[in-house]
Chains A and B, each alone.
Chain A
């Protein structure tokens, strides 16, 4: 129980920091001073003080999305094995449930974007759903491929099995699944080369187009949720492919603390790598994104196939 609380707190408080670190890495690599790693928190604090306004004519969907998005992210944060594999919500720590929860958040935001009735909102929603349609099956398939050796779709069991047999991590299954998951994580969190979180260019934006009409507390919630989703997916990657240091059931408080430090380190390193690679990459043209995602889908499918053939 303590582990889960620690995990949720870590994700909730640490996610904006992760975004700050990534921006700072980018800034330094690009030769700028950067705003410091606390800037996302300062932004959130500023937004929270402002009054949320809703455009005229929008319905309940527009108001529900800023609650659903962080809500689902927090539930996922409580079940995904980041700090500990022993979650009291163990039954929900199923891979399908986690994927469905993440999708629920994305769909809510897409519907909210449509609800505004503006051109940008609808465009962003349609692009988001296009990406989503290829991302979700890929996540499902690649984690499913990893679940075959463990014999269970429970994320905790998968991570435990991987930690017990580290040799199985250098197999084609995890190689292919890792490639697929990295690509879809980038797409899902709206990073380069799929989407650029730093611009509001109407030709290319996906995620930002849907949040244009939000202000104040609502915007803060959405930004916070996006940061959490990013750290959750990076944490999931770290847990699945480098499962060392994660506390198992019945671990003492010290082990939990160590695990928390380890996961924070792993996610920070991953985030730093991601930010560094973004500096050297150009954004893909929109019509080539399905190509990239189809590629990752194929990798995931091959991973599933390989987990059966080569088992």
Chain B
């Protein structure tokens, strides 16, 4: 693979990663949001595979397949199950409307660029230059988490953040050591399962997954 094509493919994967992340802000339909999340998982897997192909690293390629499988297959599957059980298919009344969220995302992109300055200065290179993309998705995920009122949207926000962190890890260092990578993936999977169970319980005890209903505890 030549340098030019490698960089081109890498950035294309990053672009898809960013686009899917931002589109989550736009859609209200929860099943569409989950579909976007699955696409983002694919983009992330592709990103790792491109890195692996360039570095001719079989282990990295396997990690890429694993990460892609987890984030494009297993996690969306769990969320679709939760959605089917929950019955509510739309994000109602987000705290910030879609138009404003999209403009906020633009500001977040600038912020991400500013934050990643030290990294780009330390090691300028094609992969490091893509780090702002990952950080933008991180901030967008955080924004989704804070402003959405459905349990499932919050889970997606959390997972967007996690995808972004994983992307950062692979862009900066081609991944953390394997033990940590395994631990991280396991933890994420378990966290989603825990949240899945809790969504179930919220529905059982509050009669819906609208988190505005959660106001038993306050000072």
Which residues of chain A have a CB within 8 Å of any CB of chain B?
A: 167-168, 170-173, 175-176, 179, 290-291, 294-295, 297-299, 301-302, 305-306, 309-311
Top-9 shortest CB links A-B: A172-B15, A294-B99, A294-B102, A291-B99, A298-B102, A291-B98, A301-B106, A310-B11, A290-B99
Q: Which residues of A contact B113 (CB under 8 A)?
A: 305, 309
Q: Which residues of A contact B16 (CB under 8 A)?
A: 172, 175
Q: Evaluate whether A295 and B132 lie within 8 angstroms (CB atoms) in the complex, with A172-B14, A301-B109, A302-B18 already known.
A: no
Question: Is the beta-carbon distance between A171 and B103 smaller than 8 angstroms?
Answer: no
B110 within 8 A of A: yes
Chain A's nearest CB lies how many Å from the CB of B15?
2
Chain B's nearest CB lies how many Å from the CB of A146?
14
Question: Is the beta-carbon distance between A297 and B109 smaller than 8 angstroms?
Answer: no
The secondary structure that dominates the A interface is: helix
Q: Which residues of B contact A176 (CB under 8 A)?
A: 15, 18-19
Question: Is the beta-carbon distance between A297 and B19 smaller than 8 angstroms?
Answer: no
The secondary structure that dominates the B interface is: helix
- Bitwise interface map of B from 108 to 127 toward A, beta carbon under 8 Å scored 1, else 0: 01100100000000000000
Contacts A172-B12, A172-B14, A176-B18 known; list 16 others, CB within 8 Å: A167-B4, A167-B5, A167-B8, A172-B18, A294-B100, A295-B98, A295-B102, A297-B102, A297-B103, A302-B22, A302-B106, A309-B129, A309-B130, A309-B133, A310-B14, A310-B130
29 residue pairs from A and B, CB less than 8 Å apart = A167-B5, A168-B8, A170-B8, A171-B15, A172-B15, A172-B16, A173-B15, A175-B16, A175-B19, A291-B26, A294-B100, A295-B102, A297-B102, A297-B103, A298-B105, A298-B106, A299-B22, A301-B106, A302-B22, A302-B106, A302-B109, A302-B136, A305-B113, A306-B133, A309-B113, A309-B130, A309-B132, A310-B129, A311-B129
B97 within 8 A of A: yes
Residue among B12, B15, B98, B113 with the most chain A CB within 10 A? B15
Question: Is the beta-carbon distance between A291 and B102 smaller than 8 angstroms?
Answer: yes
